């Protein structure tokens, strides 16, 4: 049986990326309890253990030129691959090879250190790496969309404690992103204005759901959040890619994200973030933003219908992030 492919749902306009870990047997399934690599000796992302990862694709060095502070490489257990298994569709069983690239960016050389402890200048360097890696992957043949995301903590799907970011380049635009592109382009056609630019303007005027802002960036608790305590962080200027931002704008964006993560980590709330961007200059109307999803609650039975109930209003989220306790 084939273990890696894009499979289409029988009747929904939804693709599922099947990527089974070959090392796992069905008898291994269950909830894992405390099985994390917590010391730096066995951690593949720690300095000294570089041989445990695939060949390095790039690194940023610090003051000591021999030592890296950020490095990136291909994921050993990628969800997609440069040489995927050949698959073909048969009738209602629609599938495609899972071609793509899956990279890991190690955020820092320090084990157990996350964004709240990283300096602003380090975060700017990291943002620049995000931008370089995404641009590079977007220029590759057949790549339609690049997903840059972070899983922080076991409840957010992180299997390694050493802080890292993942980048997956796909031959398909994820359906949620595709819907967003369409909404943004429809809004532009109708109003001759950027959708996100307008959202930021109107939210600022109302001033009920602005969590934080600085000179060039803003954090908003969205009007209809899909997840409890969900916020997005966006540059105020209309750009569709990270590479269009100036250094001061990258810093403003990272500083606000760090502020959110600091609050979440102080309450031991795991989180994900996903960068939403224009993708390969296909959608200049799109406005770059980072969606931050705290993993406070699990979706229950009702949500399986596709409808979401959220027990925390965005107006309350604002109070949460701003509270000193």
Residues in contact with Zn ion by CB under 5 A are 40, 43, 45-46, 111, 162, 194, 196-197, 238, 287
Q: Which is nearer to Zn ion, 202 or 299 (CB)?
A: 202
Q: Which is nearer to Zn ion, 4 or 161 (CB)?
A: 161
**131, two tokens:** 């931008």
Total residues found in the chain within this entry: 325
Q: Which is nearer to Zn ion, 18 or 113 (CB)?
A: 113
DSSP for 178-195, written as a single string:
HHHHHHHHHHHHHHSS-H
> Least CB distance from residue 281 to Zn ion, whole Å?
15
Q: Which is nearer to Zn ion, 25 or 190 (CB)?
A: 190
Which region, left, alpha or beta, applies to residue 272 given φ > 0 means left and ψ of -120 to 50 means alpha? beta
> Least CB distance from residue 288 to Zn ion, whole Å?
8
Which region, left, alpha or beta, applies to residue 229 given φ > 0 means left and ψ of -120 to 50 means alpha? left
DSSP for 232-266, written as a single string:
EEEESS--SSGGGS-HHHHHHHHHHHHHHHHHHHH
Q: Which is nearer to Zn ion, 111 or 251 (CB)?
A: 111
d(CA 84, CA 44): 25
Closest C-alpha to 84, from 103, 101, 97, 102: 97
Task: Using the structure block, give the residue that is written with the tokens 């390969």.
Answer: 280
> Least CB distance from residue 114 to Zn ion, whole Å?
12
Q: Which is nearer to Zn ion, 116 or 136 (CB)?
A: 116
> Least CB distance from residue 23 to Zn ion, whole Å?
21
> Least CB distance from residue 50 to Zn ion, whole Å?
11
> Least CB distance from residue 91 to Zn ion, whole Å?
43
């Amino acid at each position: 049986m084939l273990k890696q492919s894009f499979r289409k749902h029988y009747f929904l306009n939804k693709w599922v990326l099947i990527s089974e870990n070959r090392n796992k047997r069905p008898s291994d399934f269950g909830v894992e309890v405390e099985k994390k690599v917590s010391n730096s000796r066995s951690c593949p992302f720690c300095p000294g253990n570089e041989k445990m990862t695939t060949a390095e694709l790039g690194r940023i060095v610090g003051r000591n030129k021999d030592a890296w502070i950020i490095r990136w490489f291909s994921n050993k257990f990628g969800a997609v691959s440069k040489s995927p298994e050949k698959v073909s569709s048969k009738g209602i069983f629609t599938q495609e090879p899972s071609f793509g690239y899956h990279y890991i960016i190690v955020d820092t050389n320090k084990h157990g250190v996350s964004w709240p402890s990283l300096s602003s200048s380090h975060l700017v360097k990291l943002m620049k790496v995000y931008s370089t890696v995404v641009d590079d992957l977007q220029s590759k043949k057949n790549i339609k969309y690049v997903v840059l995301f972070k899983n922080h903590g076991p409840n957010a799907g992180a299997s390694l404690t050493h802080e890292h970011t993942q980048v997956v380049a796909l031959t398909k635009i994820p359906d949620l992103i595709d819907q967003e592109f369409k909404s943004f382009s429809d809004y532009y056609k109708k109003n001759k204005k950027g959708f996100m630019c307008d959202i930021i303007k109107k939210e600022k005027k109302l001033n009920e759901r602005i969590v934080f802002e600085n000179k060039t960036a803003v954090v908003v608790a969205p009007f209809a959040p899909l997840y409890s305590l969900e916020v997005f962080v966006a540059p105020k200027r209309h750009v569709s890619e990270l590479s269009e931002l100036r250094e001061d704008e990258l810093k403003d964006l990272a500083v606000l994200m760090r502020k959110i993560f600091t609050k979440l980590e102080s309450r031991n709330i795991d989180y994900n973030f996903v960068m939403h961007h224009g993708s390969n200059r296909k959608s200049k109307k799109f406005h770059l933003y980072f969606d931050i999803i705290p993993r406070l609650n699990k979706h229950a039975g009702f949500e399986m219908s596709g409808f979401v109930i959220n027990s925390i209003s965005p107006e309350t989220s604002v109070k949460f992030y701003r509270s000193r306790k």
